[in-house]
């Protein structure tokens, strides 16, 4: 059982396209699994021969990794009975002495600290950020760049001193104000400008929450499946993740979960990522009540709910919260363009001052010309107008994609998450290896993310593919899906 | 002795202009001092009456703070002998239960985690970032904003898809290339573009180093005095700071220091901050040798060495390093304008890949249009030309300021750090209270930073003032210094 999970885990993360030799990758993944206690002390490792077979790699590759782990004390050999995870794992990453006076390649990662290693070990960002079917990327070719550029030029014609020197940690005041107005009106967020902190996106917003409100060892509930970025940031900050399953009403903690009071509850109530359901009103009420009773912080990630094609969006969870437990975050990456690097965090009143200070200490503040341009873009109505246009565009693309899916497949794949956003998910039969399908698709130029990779523990019951349809031209959807469908068909 | 330091420490940080009541401030400062072991276990606290006298605040204010610390276990009362720092200090910050169903103001800071508290407790950024004599701010009114704006418009005329979607963690490739060229040519930095990571400034560069290369409890050597921002970021990341005195040749570790091998050595070799000396060649060699022998990382902060008025700058420390121990960082805040939020970090080859990945995971990447504008500004020669012009301008202002100082004072103040940069330091006689002088100057609209506040432990032997002269018009220097001189005179 343990053995089976290990090879599953390794298969998920071994990257055949990486420049890093396979044996180093294997060593690092296993070391991380041991440090993260995914592989607890006294776990018996499979024999090098068995693991090599399961991973379909050479036995020497496995032996190298085992020997390295042995040398560094992560595992121990017990006479006549095999290799076991050591009882006392070194609690800082062993740093081999640099050979004196030599520039000989020291392994890149071996020099990192433990938290540094956690930050980069499961890096999730894809090198490809455009084309069929990259999830989460809007059609940046439709961005009204002429309007943007002319607003920007106007701001630069006679820039005030205050916009060029260091700014305040909350961001450019007029942008905070218009963001507050926008969120009140369109998302029923209950806030005023002073509660808004402008960040460079969801990652920075999450990181700020972790830096200010948590200490290593704190527990966070995260939806299972969830956004890889949130999971990685939590792990990097030393937070213990408790994955909570989702049902059609959203996050669904069981009795055992409820007993482990978390510091944070990370949720995507408007549009579960990546499955797409909306959290029910009943579930929202329970969650707020629980957070109030136990003093948890709810982090509401409202990353793409502007694009809704069916039904009316529920108001934000933040708008229902009367106890200052919800921190609400959003991004301009989907509504504008990702390279903009602007997002916003709405804080309970009692947290606004420390967060403004925290931003200032971590990053110093500024970028007023950029933020002023964004404010003008919103004030003049270009933002709402662009969203309306893109909603029609993406809605049409979604329809084409759904037709293609229906044309190729009957009941053997299930489509979920088509009410909103920039992506949908295809659920595949249990026997399908979604990692393998995604790899084969990539070789033919079609980018999809395996659904199982969004889960805490990859499991074949969660096989599927996440497809973004926003950054594919209408005309390219059918041909690209043809390629993908042929590959999927081979695995059904 | 201990008692004397405590009240000194408290006087430094108690903020009379803050909205936070004095008793809460006192409680937080003492708690932080205990958590940071500035006040180690078993230290006897002064009586509430004595402390109130020393701080010139009411005894009730002190009693409130003591009672709060007692209730939370930070201090303990010993019968008949006074109040002592507790043996076992709670290792997470005590969080009082939120009153049920009430929005009653919970103290802003009481909700923060321990590391969050460390991040904001000693926040150093000044609310005023312009005028006589704000240190570290260039004259942004002289920035050639028309050239900038026209370059920017050109880039926005037909933006490539790759510049609008998510980018790579290292930054926009052409900017990495031109920064590498610039640093090779002007600072003798030994690097190629792949080693350059574009960040949003020195703070983010430092934070990235701490996240990737350190774990809580690691030791860092910092110069004493040093930049408040570096010190605060280190503390917030759980690093133990070991302040190292500086002499005219720069950082000067003694035998006891050398025995505590640090993870990091933070230095400003080209222009010690804030005292202004250049690290000698001999000291550089020793430092590199020590780092090589013990596997330490040297963080070289080269924040303003472009502005040198006397003598030729020494090459960067990085350029002398043949063992990949130096991480070099710089910023465009001084050479361009602070609100730009662009800086750069040059990594040893063995660290470049993890740092690129780390940036991507922490912040996702983008901002290509901004970085492309910066690259064009450099490629077309505007950057070098702007620096040349500003060097003349600031050199002239420095001269005016030095004349004013000489006109007002003879041997009773000593001027240091006039060879380079955007600021100088006035050393005052030991009896002067530089905090008080700075406060009185602020009331009259003149901003100076007390020199003692740059030291790890404020000490009247380090009384002085740090004056920036770059963001004051020539004509305003004399009148502003008149105001300051009158105040100083009262304290001599």
Chain A's closest residue to B147, CA to CA, is: A156
Quote the tokens at residue A415: 């489509």
Average pLDDT, whole number, for chain A? 88
Q: For an interface test with A, which of B121, B215, B290 has the most A Cβ atoms less than 10 Å from its Cβ?
A: B215
Q: Which of A203, A215, A339 is closest, CB to CB, to B367? A: A339
Contacts with A326 from chain B: Cβ below 8 Å: none
CB A168 within 8 A of CB A314: no
| Domain boundaries of chain A, sorted by first residue | 2-92, 144-380, 385-491
| Neighbour tally for A44: CB within 10 Å | 14
Write out the DSSP string of B207-236: HHHHHHH--TT-EEEEEES--HHHHHHHHH
Write out the DSSP string of A360-411: HHHH-B--HHHHHHHHHHHHTTHHHHHHHHHHHHHHHHHHHHHHHHHHH-ST
In this structure, of A134-148, A259-273, A320-334, B98-112, the range with the lowest mean pLDDT score is B98-112
Chain A's closest residue to B294, CA to CA, is: A97
CATH topology assigned to domain A144-380: 3.40.640
How deeply is A39 buried, as exposed, middle or buried, from its count of CB atoms within 10 A (0-12, 13-18, 19+)? buried
Cα distance between residue A284 and residue A316, in whole Å: 10
Quick check: A347 pLDDT over 80?
Answer: yes
Instruction: State whether residue A105 is helix, strand or coil.
Output: coil
Greater pLDDT, A57 or A245: A245
The verdict on a CB contact (< 8 Å) between A362 and B203 is: yes
Cα distance between residue B28 and residue B24, in whole Å: 6
Cα distance between residue B98 and residue A314, in whole Å: 28
Q: For an interface test with A, which of B101, B102, B166, B293 has the most A Cβ atoms less than 10 Å from its Cβ?
A: B166
The residues that bridge with A196 in the sheet, in sequence order, are A346
Q: CA of A336 to nearest chain B CA: how many angstroms apart?
A: 9
Contacts with A131 from chain B: Cβ below 8 Å: none
Torsion sign over Cα A260, A262, A266, A269: positive
Chain B's closest residue to A342, CA to CA, is: B367
Cα distance between residue B474 and residue B471, in whole Å: 9
DSSP one-letter code for B366: -
Give the model's confidence band at A24: pLDDT under 50 very low, under 70 low, under 90 confident, else very high: confident
Greater pLDDT, A36 or B150: B150
The radius of gyration computed from the CA coordinates of chain B, to the nearest angstrom, equals 24
In this structure, of A235-239, A264-268, A467-471, B104-108, the range with the lowest mean pLDDT score is B104-108
Cα distance between residue B403 and residue B408, in whole Å: 9
Q: Which CATH number fits domain A2-92: 2.120.10.30, 3.40.50.10090, 1.10.10.10, 1.10.460.10?
A: 1.10.10.10
Residue pLDDT, tens place only, A420-465: 999 999 999 988 999 999 999 999 999 999 999 999 987 778 999 9
Closest CA to A26 of A71, A72, A64: A64
The verdict on a CB contact (< 8 Å) between B129 and A166 is: yes
CB A168 within 8 A of CB A360: yes
pLDDT for A108: 64
pLDDT for B1: 32
The verdict on a CB contact (< 8 Å) between A120 and B358 is: yes
pLDDT for B229: 92
Quick check: A91 pLDDT over 50?
Answer: no
Instruction: State whether residue B148 is helix, strand or coil.
Output: helix
Quote the tokens at residue B343: 């800086």
pLDDT for B124: 74
Give the residue-averaged pLDDT of A204-217. 96
Cα distance between residue B345 and residue A197, in whole Å: 26
Q: For an interface test with B, which of A120, A209, A233 has the most B Cβ atoms less than 10 Å from its Cβ?
A: A120
Give the model's confidence band at A330: pLDDT under 50 very low, under 70 low, under 90 confident, else very high: very high
Q: Which CATH number fits domain B2-95+112-121: 1.10.10.10, 2.60.210.10, 3.40.50.300, 3.40.50.12500?
A: 1.10.10.10
β B297-301/B326-331 pair status: parallel
Torsion on CA atoms A197, A198, A203, A204, rounded to nearest 10: -70
pLDDT for A54: 85
Q: CA of B79 to nearest chain A CA: how many angstroms apart?
A: 35
CATH topology assigned to domain A385-491: 3.90.1150
DSSP one-letter code for A315: P
CB B361 within 8 A of CB A232: yes
Closest CA to B264 of B200, B302, B209: B209
The radius of gyration computed from the CA coordinates of chain A, to the nearest angstrom, equals 24
Quote the tokens at residue A135: 């999830």
Cα distance between residue B120 and residue B303, in whole Å: 23
Torsion on CA atoms A58, A59, A61, A62, rounded to nearest 10: 130
The residues that bridge with A223 in the sheet, in sequence order, are A244
Cα distance between residue B463 and residue B266, in whole Å: 23
Buried b (16+ CB within 10 A) or exposed e, B338-369: bbbbbbbbbbbebbbbbbbbbbbbbbbbbbbb
Kindly state the helix (H) or strand (E) to which residue B290 belongs, with its residue range.
helix B281-294
Q: For an interface test with B, which of A165, A227, A289, A335 has the most B Cβ atoms less than 10 Å from its Cβ?
A: A165
With a cut of 50, which residues of chain B have pLDDT below it?
1-4, 90-106
Give the residue-averaged pLDDT of A323-341. 97
Cα distance between residue A432 and residue A336, in whole Å: 36
The verdict on a CB contact (< 8 Å) between B112 and A354 is: yes
pLDDT for B38: 72
Cβ contacts of residue A211 below 8 Å, gap of 6+?
A237, A358, A362, B115, B116, B119, B236
CB A375 within 8 A of CB A148: no
| Phi, psi angles (nearest 5°) of residue A222 | -125, 150
Quote the tokens at residue A215: 């200490």
| Phi, psi angles (nearest 5°) of residue A12 | -65, -35
Greater pLDDT, A29 or A134: A134
Contacts with B166 from chain A: Cβ below 8 Å: 125, 129, 137, 333, 338-339
Cα distance between residue A180 and residue A195, in whole Å: 8
Write out the DSSP string of B60-100: HHHHHHHHHHHHTTSEEEETTTEEEE-SS--SS---PPPPT
Contacts with B168 from chain A: Cβ below 8 Å: 127
Cβ contacts of residue A53 below 8 Å, gap of 6+?
none
Chain A's closest residue to B97, CA to CA, is: A295
Q: At what angle do helices A352-363 and A202-213 cross, to 10 degrees?
A: 110
DSSP one-letter code for A340: G
Contacts with B109 from chain A: Cβ below 8 Å: 354
Closest CA to B376 of B211, B155, B182, B201: B155
Cα distance between residue B444 and residue B440, in whole Å: 7
Cα distance between residue A229 and residue B363, in whole Å: 10
Contacts with B291 from chain A: Cβ below 8 Å: none
- Outline where DSSP puts E strands in B255-407: 264-267, 297-301, 326-331, 343-346
Quick check: A114 pLDDT over 80?
Answer: yes
Contacts with A369 from chain B: Cβ below 8 Å: 339
Contacts with A130 from chain B: Cβ below 8 Å: 161-162, 165
Q: Can you tell me which residue has the tokens 């995870």?
A: A85
Q: Which of A153, A163, A295 is closest, CB to CB, to B95? A: A295
The verdict on a CB contact (< 8 Å) between A152 and B152 is: yes
Cα distance between residue B199 and residue B194, in whole Å: 14
| Neighbour tally for B28: CB within 10 Å | 21
**∠A242-A207-A232 over CA atoms, to 5°?**
45
**What percent of chain A is modeled with pLDDT above 90?**
68
pLDDT for A250: 95
Give the model's confidence band at A417: pLDDT under 50 very low, under 70 low, under 90 confident, else very high: very high
Q: CA of B327 to nearest chain A CA: how many angstroms apart?
A: 13
pLDDT for B88: 60
pLDDT for B313: 66
Q: At what angle do helices A202-213 and B352-363 cross, to 10 degrees?
A: 90
Q: For an interface test with A, which of B20, B99, B102, B120 has the most A Cβ atoms less than 10 Å from its Cβ?
A: B120
Kindly state the helix (H) or strand (E) to which residue B204 belongs, with its residue range.
helix B202-213
| Neighbour tally for A455: CB within 10 Å | 18
**∠A51-A55-A56 over CA atoms, to 5°?**
110
How deeply is B475 buried, as exposed, middle or buried, from its count of CB atoms within 10 A (0-12, 13-18, 19+)? exposed
Q: CA of B49 to nearest chain A CA: how many angstroms apart?
A: 31
> Which architecture does CATH list for B145-380?
3-Layer(aba) Sandwich (3.40)
Q: Which of B130, B157, B353 is closest, CB to CB, to A165? A: B130
Write out the DSSP string of A472-490: S-HHHHHHHHHHHHHHHHH
**∠B148-B185-B290 over CA atoms, to 5°?**
120
Please count the residue pairs, one from chain A and one from chain B, whose beta carbons lie less than 8 angstroms apart.
282
Q: CA of B228 to nearest chain A CA: how many angstroms apart?
A: 10
Quote the tokens at residue A314: 């529920």
pLDDT for B36: 65
The verdict on a CB contact (< 8 Å) between B229 and A361 is: yes
Q: How many CA atoms lie within 13 A of A96 on its CB side?
A: 14
The verdict on a CB contact (< 8 Å) between B103 and A323 is: yes
């Amino acid at each position: 059982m343990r053995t089976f999970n290990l090879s599953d885990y390794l298969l998920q993360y071994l990257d055949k396209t990486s420049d890093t030799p396979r044996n180093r990758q294997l060593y690092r993944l296993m070391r991380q699994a041991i440090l993260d206690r995914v592989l607890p002390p006294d776990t018996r490792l499979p024999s090098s021969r068995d693991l090599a077979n399961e991973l379909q790699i050479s036995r020497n590759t496995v032996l190298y990794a085992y020997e390295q782990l042995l040398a560094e004390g992560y595992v121990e050999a017990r006479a006549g009975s095999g290799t076991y995870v050591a009882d006392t794992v070194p609690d800082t990453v062993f740093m081999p002495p640099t050979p004196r006076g030599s520039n000989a390649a020291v392994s890149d990662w071996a020099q990192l600290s433990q938290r540094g290693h956690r930050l980069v070990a499961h890096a999730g960002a894809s090198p490809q950020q455009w084309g069929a079917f990259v999830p989460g990327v809007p059609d940046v070719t439709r961005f009204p760049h002429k309007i943007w550029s002319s607003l920007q030029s106007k701001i630069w014609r006679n820039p005030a001193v205050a916009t060029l020197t260091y700014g305040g940690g909350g961001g450019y005041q007029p942008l905070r104000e218009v963001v507050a107005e926008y969120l009140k009106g369109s998302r029923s967020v209950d806030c005023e400008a002073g509660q808004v902190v402008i960040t460079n996106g969801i990652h920075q917003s999450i990181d700020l929450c972790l830096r200010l409100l948590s200490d290593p060892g704190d527990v966070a509930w995260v939806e299972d499946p969830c956004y890889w970025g949130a999971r990685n940031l939590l792990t990097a900050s030393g937070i213990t993740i408790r994955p909570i399953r989702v049902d059609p009403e959203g996050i669904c903690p069981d009795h055992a979960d409820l007993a482990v009071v978390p510091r944070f509850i990370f949720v995507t109530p408007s549009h579960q990522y990546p499955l797409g359901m909306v959290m029910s009103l009943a579930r929202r009420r329970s969650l707020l009540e629980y957070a109030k009773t136990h003093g948890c912080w709810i982090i509401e990630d409202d990353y793409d709910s502007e694009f809704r094609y069916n039904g009316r969006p529920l108001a934000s969870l933040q708008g229902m919260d009367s106890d200052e437990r919800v921190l609400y975050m959003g991004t301009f990456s989907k509504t504008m363009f990702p390279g903009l690097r602007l997002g916003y965090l709405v804080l309970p009143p009692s947290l606004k001052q420390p967060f403004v200070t925290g931003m200032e200490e971590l990053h110093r503040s500024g970028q007023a010309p950029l933020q002023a341009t964004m404010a003008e873009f919103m004030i003049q109505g270009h933002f709402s107008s662009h969203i309306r246009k893109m909603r029609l565009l993406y809605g049409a693309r979604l329809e084409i994609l759904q037709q293609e899916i229906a044309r190729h497949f009957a009941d053997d794949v299930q489509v979920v998450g088509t009410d909103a956003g920039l992506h949908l998910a295809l659920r595949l039969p249990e026997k399908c290896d979604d990692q393998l399908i995604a790899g084969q698709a990539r070789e033919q130029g079609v980018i999809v993310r395996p659904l199982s990779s969004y889960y805490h523990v990859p499991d074949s019951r969660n096989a599927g593919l996440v497809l973004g349809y926003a950054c594919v031209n209408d005309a390219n959807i059918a041909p690209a899906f043809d390629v993908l469908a042929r590959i999927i068909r081979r695995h059904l």
